[in-house]
Amino acid sequence: MKLYNSLSHEKEEFKTYEPGKVSMYTCGPTVYHFAHIGNLRSYIMEDVLEKALRWEGYEVKRVMNITDVGHLSSDADTGEDKMLKGARREHKTVLEIAQFYTDAFFDDCKKLNIKYPDVVQPATGMIDSYIKVITKLMDTGYAYFAGGNVYFDTSKLKKYYVFNDHDVEALEVGVRDSVEEDPNKRNKNDFVLWFTKSKFEDQALKWDSPWGVGYPGWHIECSCISMKFLGEHLDLHCGGIDNAFPHHTNEIAQSESYLGHPWCSHWFHVHHLNTASGKMSKSKGEFLTVSLLEEKGYDPLVYRLFCLQSHYRKALTFSWENLDNAAAAYDKLVRRIAALSREGTADAAAQGPWRTQFREVLDNDLNTSLAVTALYDVLKADLSDADKRALIGDFDRVLGLELLEHAAALSEGEKAAPAGEDAGEIENLIAQRAQAKKDKNWAEADRIRDALKARGIELIDTKEGTTWKKA
Ligand SMILES: [Zn+2]
């Protein structure tokens, strides 16, 4: 599989430390509030990656942390612990808040058909590990004690900005702007490994340590949880692109300084979900959650399909109109599958070339939009209905859209195939083209229009959207 690696800034052949096995780590949620659907886009795409690796025969062990302490309001170690803010907002204890939002997160994941990780570890359960790692970093000169806190000394590193796709200067300015200068830091990028002093003295959870009673910084938890369950050589680390700096950059700094050798070979970052007004966030505009989608009558799997229709390395723009397009495409796809006969026997040899083609699009940097298109290719192929059902079921082990299950659940009346053999597929392509235009990906939009034209389908753009006719 060729997969883009943020560390090398290239698409490269995905390799594992042990043949056939993948150790996979995912930064989990900070459980102080509901996840918004922008956060969940990352988990959906990571889930598809995990399922693709399993589908290709890898044995995957996936570990996720739950951040229930130490993630301050600013990612750069300033402000109050987010958990404490959540507890105060809801007049509950930090532990109650953590439990409630951890459950809510996994409820959302379940609705989106995201597999539960093999290991889920709350940060508060690993204090001894943090102390062990920080002690070694102190002993080896990578960490220092100042003003009551323990800091990682970034000047000891040969290279700190490992993901600098971005301009280093711009990053530095960004950090300077968003952070009140901490006078204890020797270098502006140094970060806290262990807090005992903060302006916010009512921190709820504290533990004894060689440096005084306090609590861990946010970054150290991911290094320690990953190393405990996945060992010293990690194959694949996932997360949203906004975690690349400073969080993942700091994870690498402390893990490799502690281990004395390279740590994680492959970094998979999922790009933002935007709204018309910019990057989606909890504080801005409508707070879009899975529950809200359900209240408005959408099956959460429609949102999953919407995410799959775009590449994970492109920013994706959310609008209700685009979600409606995905809902229409999903509905028609399910009805076409429901119309397939359940009689007959499948012929594995006939299916072979289709599996090969599906594998090729996954292997090309997880091209999920073409993987969705493969479903339509199968539906219109010269194959028996039994083969079509077998292939769709097999592809859906990766896509996770529960297509056969939803098709089986349709009542007899609903099972009638939609008008026009290719209607569902064409509308899926129109939805993908609308999305490409929204993302300003003109080349992709033109490609889709031309591909349809080559098949004698003409698109008509109107103010209300795009319709089509046979030319
Ligand atoms: Zn993390």
Q: Give the β-pairing of 119-122 and 78-81.
A: unpaired
Q: Which of 41-45, 181-185, 213-217, 229-233 shows the lowest mean pLDDT across its residues?
A: 181-185
Rounded alpha-carbon distances, angstroms, from residue 332 to 155, 197, 302: 57, 58, 12
Tokens for 311, please give them: 């590449």
Task: Give distance in angstroms: CA of 248 to centre of ligand 1.
Answer: 6
Secondary structure (DSSP) of 321-376? HHHHHHHHHHHHHHHHHHTS---S---HHHHHHHHHHHHHHHHBT--HHHHHHHHH
pLDDT of residue 280: 74
**Is 446's pLDDT higher than 70?**
yes
What does DSSP assign to residue 114? P
308 and 432 Cβ atoms separated by less than 8 Å: no
Task: Give distance in angstroms: CA of 266 to centre of ligand 1.
Answer: 14
**Is 165's pLDDT higher than 60?**
no
Task: Give distance in angstroms: CA of 413 to centre of ligand 1.
Answer: 48
pLDDT of residue 174: 44
* Rounded mean pLDDT, 317-336: 94
* Rounded mean pLDDT, 404-419: 72
**Is 417's pLDDT higher than 50?**
no
Tens of pLDDT, residues 373-388 = 999 999 999 999 999 9
Task: Give distance in angstroms: CA of 457 to centre of ligand 1.
Answer: 47
Task: Give distance in angstroms: CA of 306 to centre of ligand 1.
Answer: 26
Residue 451: pLDDT band by 50, 70, 90 thresholds?
Answer: confident
327 and 309 Cβ atoms separated by less than 8 Å: no
Task: Give distance in angstroms: CA of 188 to centre of ligand 1.
Answer: 21
Task: Give distance in angstroms: CA of 437 to centre of ligand 1.
Answer: 33
Torsional sign, CA 78, 82, 83, 84:
positive
270 and 370 Cβ atoms separated by less than 8 Å: no
Task: Give distance in angstroms: CA of 222 to centre of ligand 1.
Answer: 5
Task: Give distance in angstroms: CA of 372 to centre of ligand 1.
Answer: 30
* Rounded mean pLDDT, 409-422: 60
pLDDT, mean over the chain? 90
- Which residues face 467 on adjacent strands? 460
**Is 178's pLDDT higher than 90?**
no
* Rounded mean pLDDT, 429-433: 88
**Is 183's pLDDT higher than 80?**
yes
**Is 458's pLDDT higher than 80?**
yes
Task: Give distance in angstroms: CA of 230 to centre of ligand 1.
Answer: 14
**Is 137's pLDDT higher than 50?**
yes
Instruction: Determine the angle formed by the axes of helices 320-338 and 300-308, rounding to 10 degrees.
Output: 100
Prediction pTM value = 0.86
Residue 388, C-beta contacts closer than 8 angstroms, at least 6 positions apart: 340, 378, 379, 381
pLDDT of residue 456: 76
SS3 label, residue 156: helix
Task: Give distance in angstroms: CA of 218 to centre of ligand 1.
Answer: 8
Tens of pLDDT, residues 86-120 = 888 899 888 899 999 999 999 999 999 999 999 99
Longest Cα pair distance anywhere in the chain, in angstroms?
76
Task: Give distance in angstroms: CA of 273 to centre of ligand 1.
Answer: 19
Task: Give distance in angstroms: CA of 302 to centre of ligand 1.
Answer: 28
Task: Give distance in angstroms: CA of 41 to centre of ligand 1.
Answer: 16
Task: Give distance in angstroms: CA of 27 to centre of ligand 1.
Answer: 4
**Is 123's pLDDT higher than 90?**
yes
CA 187 to chain centre: 31
Torsion of CA 55, 61, 67, 70, to 10 degrees: -130
Please give the residue that has the higher pLDDT: either 264 or 469.
264
pLDDT of residue 180: 62
Task: Give distance in angstroms: CA of 237 to centre of ligand 1.
Answer: 9
d(CA 25, CA 222): 9
- Which residues face 275 on adjacent strands? 278
Residue 283: pLDDT band by 50, 70, 90 thresholds?
Answer: low
Task: Give distance in angstroms: CA of 235 to centre of ligand 1.
Answer: 15
Tokens for 459, please give them: 């698109």
